[in-house]
Structure 1
Amino acid sequence: MEHLELFFKSIFVDNMVFAVFLGMCSYLAVSKKVATAVGLGAAVIFVLAITVPLNWLLDQYLLQPGALSWLGEEYVDYDLSFLSFIMFIATIATMVQLVEIVVEKFSPSLYNSLGIFLPLIAVNCAILGGSLFMQSREIETLGLAFNYGVSSGIGWFLAILAIAAIREKIRYSNVPAPLRGLGITFIITGLMGIGFLSFGGMLTGGDEEEKPAATETVLEDIKIETEKAKELAENTKTID
């Protein structure tokens, strides 16, 4: 259940684009065609799926205070957390280079259409954000870290795919001149963000615990109202 909750919340509720506005540069620049958006989105999913678990391992066994205890008791007091940004970025840059080599090898057309934005995944704040959110949320297992990386990538993929499909169709619409281009794109992004935030109550938990308390309160109110009605009826009979 924990894996399923994290999966859906990372895609819809905590979407990288619509909830925290990370990766907006690539989101706006590479969303003019669906085919290009699919290629970049798939690359982002792959990079997040690899870098978030790798950075989790680095955080657990190297960077956290006391993480070096596996080397011996003399290393228990070491704290390398100040290296988090450097280590995370190094891991991301390495994986992005691997993705770039693979895409250029097997799909030159996609490589040319993505252009400079493929190597720029290395500085895409959504990629680094995934590792930093993993760290701040204190994800406990490697499986959950992998789940979070994949689901965050899928959320970003859905966002860029949706806006690309809309931008392809909107070319044939009569958009007012001042709003053409990025203007209407920002408006659509805002509306899509509202739609994704409507999933805010999805798998939030705690509802079952609140229901008994709410039911008891309602029953008490009904009991009080019933007693008042009885007293009023008795007073009416006495007056008569």
Structure 2
Amino acid sequence: MKEESLWFIFINASLINNFVLAYFLGICPFLGVSGKMETASKMGAAVTFVMIISSVCAYGIHLLLVAINAPFLQLISYIVVIASTVQLVEMIIKKMSPALFRSLGIFLPLITTNCAILGVALFQTSKGYGLAESLAYSFGAGAGFTLALVLMAGLREQLDFADVPKVVKGTAITLLIAGILSLTFMGFSGLGS
């Protein structure tokens, strides 16, 4: 593996290869929770926290499984760690902010099945990142996920004041905006070479 700077790893995960807008991972919360800016930013923070914790755990699990010659347990181990971390986040949010817990609704427990989080753990392992690189990668992926959610929420809030034709109101305009956002992020792909 050629040596990459932590800053490049962060920018790569957040902008160049954004998990939502370039890899199309984590689309469910992207479309479901991006109706309001406040909810989107808090969901992004929760997903970022889970990504960072699961990334650190995935790094340790990978080392352990390689040491005992059991890499076939990697996927199931990552899923258990992610599910446990989400349960912790869910309990904290329910205790600290019941209103936020209600506004996130079903999308909070669905972080467990968010393929972007599992993708971070699997991608960092396949790239052979060390602990510092894994942290930069997971933080960048979380920042990119939050950026995508907040951008979408801001655009959807502005649509409430726009005169949108009835034929594209609702889901149709949301998917159009998501596609345009994805195209704009494809412009960052030149930064990676």
TM range (shorter): over 0.9
In the TM superposition, residue 178 of structure 1 has moved relative to its aligned partner by 2.0
Alignment of 1:62-211 (within 5 A): 62=65, 64=66, 67-68=67-68, 78=69, 80-139=70-129, 141-204=130-193
Gaps of 5+ in 1: 69-77, 205-240
**What amino acid does structure 1 have at the position aligned with 2:15?**
F
Q: Are residues 1:51 and 2:51 paired?
A: no
SS in 2 for 1:197: helix
Determine which structure has more spread, i.e. the larger CA radius of gyration.
1
Find the counterpart in structure 1 of residue 19 from structure 2.
16
Deviation (angstroms), 1:26: 0.9
Moved over 2 A (4+): none
| Structure 1 position 203, deviation (Å) | 4.8
Matched, 1:40 2:43: yes
Aligned pairs, number? 190
| TM-score normalised by length of structure 2 | 0.94
1:122 to partner: Cα distance: 0.6
Secondary structure of 1:36's match? helix
Superposition RMSD on alpha carbons, in Å?
1.2
Matches of 2:192 and 2:21, distance apart in 1 = 18
Determine the C-alpha separation between the residues in 2 that align with 1:199 and 1:50. 27
Per the normalisation by structure 1, the TM-score is 0.76
In structure 2, what is the Cα distance between the partners aligned to 1:82 and 1:203? 31
After superposition, give the CA deviation of every residue in 1:173-230 in whole Å (9 maximum; x if it has no partner): 12122211111111111111121121112253xxxxxxxxxxxxxxxxxxxxxxxxxx
C-alpha displacement of 1:61: 2.1
Greater RCO structure (CA 8 Å; 6+ sep): 2
Compute the displacement of 1:120 (Å).
1.0
CA distance in 2, matches of 1:165, 1:200: 24
Given residue 143 of structure 1, which amino acid in structure 2 is its aligned partner? A
Unaligned residue ranges in structure 2 (runs of 5+): none
The alignment partner of 2:164 has SS state of coil
Q: What is the DSSP-based 3-state SS (H/G/I as helix, E as strand, rest coil) of the residue aligned with 1:202?
A: helix
CA distance in 1: counterparts of 2:72 and 2:141, whole angstroms: 25
Mapping of residues 197-236 of structure 1, within 5 Å: 197-204=186-193
